[in-house]
Amino acid sequence: MAFLLHLQPSLKFPNSSHPIPTRPSSSSLSSPTNSSTQKNSIDFSKWVTGFRSKSLNFALSTTLSLALSLTGVGFAEGKVGVNKPELLPEDFSTVIDVAGFLSDGQEKRISQEIADIEKDTGFKLRVLAQNYPDTPGLAIKDYWQVDDRTVIFVADPTFGNILNFNVGASVDLDIPRSFWSRLAGKYGNIFYWKEKGEDASIEAAVMAISNCLREPVGRNNCSEVQ
């Protein structure tokens, strides 16, 4: 969402024969009116920046609420919240597939990739494959001990795009937010997973996340979805 502040200059005051300078003179720069205008412009810019940041944070946090089938806000459309700890594995696992999208071999490969990511980068990736409302829901937060260095990846085709992400604050500092939307657009769209299969979308997304988390932090890190 973008905002444009358009000021239409007037060349003359009404009933005046003296034109207004198109560029401020040195004396006008220090005038109270000009200072007030500059301050208002700066305050507006800060407000726009803050608004956009808060909007994106809201979108990311709502994605998790929707994906985990919690009682959501906004576009959750009144979906009933779910909290079913009985659907969690007895033994700890970084991959939970209650939808049956993954074969045993695929689950093991993804689990090993997640272990390597955590060892090499310190970031924690957690994968939940579900079909709403068959999901452990909120129970995974305690089960996985979700913190600021955790990426929760929920694969659920119920809402069209199968890839949903919730990103911890520390991860958010290193990874451009646009990466997650580009990743969902490439491997999560309904045409991709309908043709390739849900399992292919999940595996491709995990590998793309792995590549991204391993890139050196900089202006262009994660600029491409591998």
Domain ranges of the chain: 83-214
Kindly indicate the confidence band of residue 219, based on its pLDDT and cuts at 50, 70 and 90: confident
**Quick one: tokens of 18?**
């003296």
One DSSP character per residue, 180-209 reads HHHHHHHHSSHHHHHHH-HHHHHHHHHHHH
pLDDT given at position 82: 86
Q: Are 124 and 97 a contacting pair, CB within 8 Å?
A: no
- Least confident interval from 78-82, 93-97, 219-223: 78-82
User: Is a pLDDT exceeding 70 seen at residue 102?
Assistant: yes
**Looking at the domain 83-214, which fold is it?**
Diaminopimelate Epimerase; Chain A, domain 1 (3.10.310)
Mean pLDDT of 186-199: 97
Mean of per-residue pLDDT scores for the chain: 76
pTM, to two decimals: 0.68
Report pLDDT digits (tens) over 45-69. 454 444 343 333 433 344 444 444 3
Kindly indicate the confidence band of residue 81, based on its pLDDT and cuts at 50, 70 and 90: confident
